[in-house]
Amino acid sequence: MTYLPSPDRYKNMRYRRCGKSGLKLPAVSLGLWHNFGGVDVAENFRKILHTAFDSGITHFDLANNYGPPPGSAETNFGQILHEDFRGYRDEMIISSKAGYTMWDGPYGDWGSKKYLVSSLDQSLKRMRLEYVDIFYHHRPDPETPLEETMGALDLIVRQGKALYAGISNYPADKADEAISILKKLGTPCLIHQPKYSMFERWVEGGLLDVLEKDGVGCIPFSPLAQGLLTNKYLHGIPEDSRVAKSGVFLQKSHVTDERISQISKLNDIAVKRGQTLAQMALAWILKDQRITSVLIGASKPEQITDSLKCLDNTEFSEEELTQIESILK
């Protein structure tokens, strides 16, 4: 059956301007870090993409190494794009990144011009695209001069292989420096993608101020702290959870009694707000006007629909914010 997007797909989504650019992103974007790889069920992630687009999610975020195996998320996304979304490319914002290990040898990692240009060329082939909308450097490289890495992003934009340049995981000082270099080169930095959630708040120590000063957008990843900020861990570690299965990014040692107590108290506030804990955790990030969009993941289509209900209430009373702070401290 041919996929036809919902005609009402733009009715309920909110779109926010990305920094001082002309680009708007949906308040909620879809990340393909997990659940879209070669080990996953194609029919399931196809439905996830359909549900997202039908809901007004126009931004799909990938990276060269997403899978597993690395590269397979881009290949799978490219196939569905080709088969189902062929007439809708201009309604989509597609991003990719390079900066973590992708292939063997000295040119398959970090931040050299050689690696970034080669990696994007491979990504475009996997996704069957002529260009991505946003290309990020995925993490700072302590050994490559920042001028070279930012020069590679500038080159890629000038070649037409990406429309915008972004950075990810850069601390405030390095971000400020990178943004300044890109500005001088004439390819302004569009957006920064940091890890940010109620449990991971390093961006509040200067990064958000830098992005506001420089007119750069912000799109946090892992806003639900790998699932900790959901109802899943209210009563300990369930057997089907990511912790129990792999324990790579979220480990059993992270799910302490103290953490479960915090989750339970936060959940009580969410219930009073008429939200699930996950919906409140997303709304809590979106309450800050410096945030352009928040990146969610999904293992089933219903999770998209559920997460989007965060947009029904992104306002917090002073009392709620005070209660949340006291729990998090």
Domains by residue range for the chain, with CATH: 15-226+285-316 (3.20.20.100)
Residues for the chain: how many in total? 329
CB 263 within 8 A of CB 325: no
pTM of this structure: 0.95
Residue partners of 90: CB distance under 8 A and separation at least 6: none
> Which phi and psi (to 5°) does residue 36 adopt?
-125, 15
Q: In terms of DSSP bridges, do strands 15-17 and 24-26 run parallel, antiparallel, or are they unpaired?
A: antiparallel
CB 161 within 8 A of CB 155: no
Q: Which two tokens stand for residue 117?
A: 């240009």
How high is the pLDDT of residue 245? 59
How high is the pLDDT of residue 251? 65
Question: Tens-of-pLDDT digits for all 329 residues of the chain?
Answer: 799 999 999 999 999 999 999 999 999 999 999 999 999 999 999 999 999 999 999 999 999 999 999 999 999 999 999 999 999 999 999 999 999 999 999 999 999 999 999 999 999 999 999 999 999 999 999 999 999 999 999 999 999 999 999 999 999 999 999 999 999 999 999 999 999 999 999 999 999 999 999 999 999 999 999 999 999 888 777 776 656 555 556 667 778 899 999 999 999 999 999 999 999 999 999 999 999 999 999 999 999 999 999 999 999 999 999 999 999 99
**For the chain, where are the E strands, in sequence order?**
15-17, 24-26, 28-31, 59-61, 93-98, 132-137, 162-168, 189-193, 217-218, 294-296
CB 84 within 8 A of CB 46: yes
| Rounded-to-integer distance, Cα 308 and Cα 306, Å | 6
Neighbours of 130 (CB within 10 A): 9
How high is the pLDDT of residue 254? 74
Q: Is 51 helix (H, G, I), strand (E, B) or coil?
A: helix
How high is the pLDDT of residue 244? 57
The candidate with the shortest Cα–Cα distance to 167, out of 132, 206, 242, 217, is: 217
Beta bridge partners of 132: 162
Q: Is 20 helix (H, G, I), strand (E, B) or coil?
A: coil
Beta bridge partners of 191: 166, 217
